[in-house]
Structure 1
Amino acid sequence: MTAPDPDGLLAEQLLRLTRRVHRIQKRHLEHRGLGITPAQSRLLRTLAHYGSPPRMTDLAERLEVVPRAVTTLVDGLEATGKVCRVPDPANRRVIRIELTDDGRAALRELQGARRSAAEEILAPLTDEQRAVLGVLLDTLVDGPDAGRGHRTVGP
């Protein structure tokens, strides 16, 4: 008989939680009828954080995907009027990706869907448990110093 593997169990729990989060977010997106996939949603959120319209290669780096994947996402979002390709004013050969008014409106809807999904997922936790979870997740995502100074836990 082999000894239990606590790290393996935690890894499996994290994977199951990730799949559950994706399922719930997808359901909330579908409920709002936006016709936007989770990957397109991620691209819109990333695009919104740029001060000026980025190049597709910038988006690919930020999203940690191959440039072809960004092209496919942009094609789909452009077809529905959420983004548009614009020439760079300094170099007309460079194409940048810009959010449209429809894209910004969709982003607001997406934020509502994400908030609803988060409320559903976190419903079983108390405020204190949520705060602890936030610190733990910061530490896992950003490294050992991430939880310091971001959130406070307890009295």
Structure 2
Amino acid sequence: MSNAPDPRELAELFHAVSRTMRRRTLAQLEPWGITPHHARALRSISETDRARLRDVADRLRIAARSATEVVDALEAKGLVTREPDPQDRRATLVSPTEDGLRLVEQIDAARAERNAEFFGALTAEDREALQRILGSLPLD
């Protein structure tokens, strides 16, 4: 008889951690009025000078229509701008504004603090083991 944890129990713990992190992320982003999805998109856009809308969709693994909706919301908040791609009239380029770049910095700083606090409950050895274990799981 094995003392190994039941995979169902592991899955439940994993989901509980994921829900906790998501709930904390939502609360943290609330003062800025953006969702985690918007924050991911803004970070992705800010990593390039100008990104094609199609590339944003690909990086976020969402449909082009969904990327358009996300960019619409970010543009309405003054966090990104759009312009036609001079290389391809059918394509749109998205760029972060100065406000968008500042917000990414603020979100990253708050996220680093939140993650340090959350994972600070683990020893350094446990964090290393967790990283190794999670890195070993098959991801889509």
TM over 0.5: yes
Q: Which amino acid aligns with 1:123?
A: G
Q: Residue 34 of structure 1 corresponds to which residue in structure 2?
A: 32
Q: Offset at 1:141? A: 5.8
Q: Offset at 1:142? A: 5.8
Normalising by structure 2, report the TM-score: 0.86
Q: Residue 62 of structure 2 corresponds to which residue in structure 1?
A: 65
Are residues 5 and 126 of structure 1, via their aligned partners in 2, closer, same or farther at CA, if it must alter by over 3 Å?
A: closer
Q: Offset at 1:93? A: 3.0
After TM superposition, which residue ranges in structure 1, 4 or more long, deviate above 6 angstroms?
A: none
Give the number of the structure whose residues are more often strand, by fraction.
2
Are residues 120 and 26 of structure 1, via their aligned partners in 2, closer, same or farther at CA, if it must alter by over 3 Å?
A: farther
Please provide the CA RMSD for this pair: 2.1
**Distance (Å, rounded) in 2 between the aligned partners of 1:86 and 1:136:** 43
Give the number of the structure whose residues are more often helix, by fraction.
2
**Distance (Å, rounded) in 1 between the aligned partners of 2:60 and 2:53:** 10
**Distance (Å, rounded) in 2 between the aligned partners of 1:59 and 1:120:** 31
Alignment pair present for 1:113 and 2:103: no
Q: Residue 77 of structure 2 corresponds to which residue in structure 1?
A: 80
Q: Residue 48 of structure 1 corresponds to which residue in structure 2?
A: 46
1:98-136 CA-to-partner distances (Å, cap 9, x unmatched) read 111111000001101211221232121111111111222
**Distance (Å, rounded) in 2 between the aligned partners of 1:63 and 1:93:** 21
**Distance (Å, rounded) in 2 between the aligned partners of 1:123 and 1:117:** 10
- Which runs of 5 or more structure 1 residues have no equivalent in the other structure? 144-155
Q: Which amino acid aligns with 1:125?
A: L
1:18-56 CA-to-partner distances (Å, cap 9, x unmatched) read 1111111122223xx211211100111222333x42222
Normalising by structure 1, report the TM-score: 0.79
**Distance (Å, rounded) in 2 between the aligned partners of 1:11 and 1:49:** 33
